[in-house]
Structure 1
């Protein structure tokens, strides 16, 4: 069993520390300003085999440079956006990126975790992921800058990107003159789409006028955006991608596909 030092105690650390302890791992926490009975970052690192830097992304490199490393230690960060080079002062480095939003008291269990590690450390990290009830996702190590940017952009699009779509929907709801907060009415639709995608895949979950080939309804949607003083760029971009999914599902004939493509290109 390895001894783990967790340096920094933000939202991620507050999920990681109890998960490690529940898995039977020994954990010490290092803080920049330790209280009574707590450890400084350096003192915590001295006790550990694995040192987790759960500080903000911009502080990872400086924190790694300030710690008293010794041979045999492994440094880890949990930032999908940060290259392992930020951990260069450590004897060895790895990434362990849980693909989960940690709002409130949400734990880590059930999520996928991106693991970026060399052949010497990848098996132990995969085993740890499974002990934490995470699904290991082995990444190239080291990741190229373009691959890392694409990986992180995909995760961000799947998380906060959905909020941009809901904000657009909420604006249209307000323009329609509907009373009350739109979000409680709209969120069940989002949850239903996600549940269907999980069960049937993305192509099998597409619904609405594009899935039906209803160009008339789609044209009225676009007119509503213009009437609301909103740009149609988001709906057009989403429409083109939904159409590609509907085509992949084989749900539209050639004539309907052509009509929808012409409408989405003309606006």
Structure 2
């Protein structure tokens, strides 16, 4: 199997290396910049190939994979449809939010189209390829294309699930909340630490074990039972101290604290917090 990848960024580099570990006999790259194309092809070793024109990549590939930014996909698809013969080839993009419908120009000229999204974040190609070994994928697209990707992921021992084009934006929103939202929450916590006079590097090294422990608890007990802390206990006095201190020393952070508190309260009410009076008082404190 020969794979042609359009886009040589972190995701394209990681997927190409992962594909070589899964038996791809050749992984070719085409990108806007020669330097990134060469770097990505070099990463996969002897099976890597650099393409300077996309028509050649299309002609010589069995699978054509788009790993360009989401906003660029329509333009790239149109160019691919004009440049080469994709009859019978598998064409898929790896965007989380866009569906395979964006590949319609390719489908209309005979390609089998899908989207394949890894529920993962990528810092670089090498570590990304390692992460892909255990990543869960979301697949969406036409039946023939989905079947090929299902078979491939099953052989690779990767878990996956199949979604529809309508479901995909919600699915991706959930992924963004967990990955990007968590990063934002950690940054918010670091601002609170800074307001308390604790330097960022020290604060982060202290918070990371707490984050890791929380993730482990969620994995072992589920979200509702893993929740700990003052809101889960209905500890009104502690929340009062929190809000008063933030209002007095870092008022610009209070709104976010209250917003996150309301989300936490909704989780606490699923199983741990049952006292109506405490719930009402906490709702009041987190809405003032």
Fold match (TM-score > 0.5): yes
CA distance in 2, matches of 1:202, 1:191: 14
TM-score, normalisation: structure 2: 0.83
Cα RMSD (Å) = 2.1
Instruction: Give deviations 1:32-63, integer Å, cap 9, x for gaps.
Output: 44669632322121112221011222222222
Aligned mates of 1:178, 1:5 — CA distance in 2: 49
Measured at CA, do residues 18 and 178 of structure 1 come closer, stay the same or move farther in structure 2, by a change above 3 Å? closer
Q: Which one of 198, 204, 213 corresponds to residue 183 of structure 1? A: 204
Q: Secondary structure at the residue paired with 2:266?
A: helix
Match of 2:142 in 1: 118
Q: In the alignment, which residue of structure 1 is the partner of 2:234?
A: 213
What's the CA shift for 1:73? Answer: 1.4
Distance 1:29 1:84, change over 3 A: same
Kindly indicate whether structure 1 or structure 2 has the higher relative contact order, using CA contacts under 8 Å at least 6 residues apart.
2
Find the partner of 1:52 among 40, 51, 65.
65
Partner of 2:173: 153
- Displacement of 1:103: 1.5
Deviations 1:8-29 (A, max 9, x none): 2211121111221211123331
Name the stretch that deviates more: 225-234 or 11-20.
225-234
The structure with the largest helix share of the pair is 2
* Compared CA separation, residues 134 and 74, structure 1 to 2 (3 A): same
For 2:157 and 2:180, locate their aligned partners in 1 and report how far apart those are by CA, in whole Å. 24
The number of equivalent residue pairs is 261
Paired residues of 1:20 and 1:132 also in contact (CA < 8 A): no
- Quote the residue 1:261 is aligned against: 283
Do the aligned partners of residues 130 and 48 (structure 1) sit closer, same or farther apart at CA in structure 2, a change above 3 Å counting? same
Q: 1:244 aligns with which of 261, 266, 269?
A: 266
SS at match of 2:211: helix
User: What is the distance in 2 between the residues matched to 1:94 and 1:237?
Assistant: 37
* Structure 1 contact 19–132 (Cα < 8 Å) conserved: no
**TM superposition shift of 1:132:** 3.5
Residues in 2 aligned to 1:248 and 1:102: alpha-carbon distance in whole angstroms: 33
Cα deviation, residue 159, structure 1: 0.8
Q: How does 1:121-140 map to 2 (within 5 A)?
A: 121-140=145-164
Structure 2: 5+ residue runs without aligned partners? 42-48
1:64-213 maps to which residues of 2 (within 5 A)?
Answer: 64-67=77-80, 68-90=84-106, 91-104=111-124, 105-107=127-129, 108-140=132-164, 143-144=165-166, 147-179=167-199, 181=201, 182-213=203-234
CA contact (8 A) 1:97 1:113 kept: yes
Distance, in Å, in 2 between the alignment partners of 1:198 and 1:118 is 33
Contact 1:9 1:29 in 2 (8 A): no
- The TM-score, its normalising length taken from structure 1, stands at 0.89
